[in-house]
Chain A
Amino acid sequence: EPEVTQTPSHQVTQMGQEVILRCVPISNHLYFYWYRQILGQKVEFLVSFYNNEISEKSEIFDDQFSVERPDGSNFTLKIRSTKLEDSAMYFCASGGTGGSYEQYFGPGTRLTVT
């Protein structure tokens, strides 16, 4: 069964550094998403991406964040200058079309900013 994959599983970085989190969505899906979950808190929507552009984003997704689909398979989330409060699990998801819009999530990347 096809699934969303994410790399790395755990990323440790120093405050102020740039990080890129990578995702390979399910191959025939057209919509791509990033969510995050701070430890002990709810899963929060960050951004959705369709047809090579951002379709929606939350207030969390500020200028420090960017997304890209650099080729036909990868979908990346870049945090330009990490802060301590960016420490969280980051989940990539993908979904198809057809009206029901269910999303399929990857296993997540744990980002630790020190």
Chain B
Amino acid sequence: DAKTTQPTSMDCAEGRAANLPCNHSTISGNEYVYWYRQIHSQGPQYIIHGLKNNETNEMASLIITEDRKSSTLILPHATLRDTAVYYCIVRVPQDVHKFYFGSGTKLNVKP
């Protein structure tokens, strides 16, 4: 399995930015970083992915360090509905169609 390390849980106040870190120190140059979230046993929801550059979409921003050994998912204005388990996944080129879900980070957004 591609190795990522995430904190088990984090709290965030509603309306504030949520910054979710992920370490992937063994990442190779052609491996993408993906972020998904799962809200209470629903299907995992795709958020964003990136290779080297920072990425932004309507849901979040992804900041990848220059050495690519870590990344941060940023939810700019967290709402209660963002409470979920967030998964950072490194897609291994030889397993391009398999996503290995770890334990993720449980983000608790509090009023």
**B96 partner residues in chain A, CB cutoff 8 A:** 101
B67 at the interface (CB under 8 A from A): no
Query: In the bound complex, do residue A108 and residue B43 qualify as a contact, i.e. CB atoms below 8 Å apart?
Result: yes
Task: Give which listed residue, B38, B45, B87, B99, contacts A45 with CB less than 8 A.
Answer: B99
Query: In the bound complex, do residue B32 and residue A104 qualify as a contact, i.e. CB atoms below 8 Å apart?
Result: no
Query: In the bound complex, do residue A105 and residue B41 qualify as a contact, i.e. CB atoms below 8 Å apart?
Result: no
* A96 to B70 alpha-carbon distance, docked (Å): 27
* Of listed B44, B97, B100, B101, residue having the most chain A CB within 10 A: B97
Quick one: which of B29-58 are within 8 Å of A by CB?
A: 32, 34, 38, 41-46, 49
* A106 to B41 alpha-carbon distance, docked (Å): 11
Task: Give which listed residue, B38, B91, B97, contacts A55 with CB less than 8 A.
Answer: B97
Query: In the bound complex, do residue A43 and residue B97 qualify as a contact, i.e. CB atoms below 8 Å apart?
Result: no
Instruction: Bits for A21-45, please: 1 = Cβ < 8 Å to B, else 0.
Output: 0000000000101010100001111
Q: How many residues of B contact A (CB 8 A)?
A: 21
Query: In the bound complex, do residue B100 and residue A105 qualify as a contact, i.e. CB atoms below 8 Å apart?
Result: no
A103 at the interface (CB under 8 A from B): yes
Q: B51 — nearest CB in chain A belongs to which residue?
A: A100
Main secondary structure of the interface of B (DSSP, over half): loop
Quick one: which of B83-98 are within 8 Å of A by CB?
A: 87, 91, 95-98
**A93 partner residues in chain B, CB cutoff 8 A:** 43-44
Q: A57 — nearest CB in chain B belongs to which residue?
A: B98
Query: In the bound complex, do residue A43 and residue B44 qualify as a contact, i.e. CB atoms below 8 Å apart?
Result: yes
* A30 to B97 alpha-carbon distance, docked (Å): 12
B65 at the interface (CB under 8 A from A): no
Q: Which residues of B are in contact with A by a Cβ distance under 8 Å? A: 32, 34, 38, 41-46, 49, 87, 91, 95-103
Closest 3 CB pairs of A and B: A105-B43, A43-B101, A48-B97
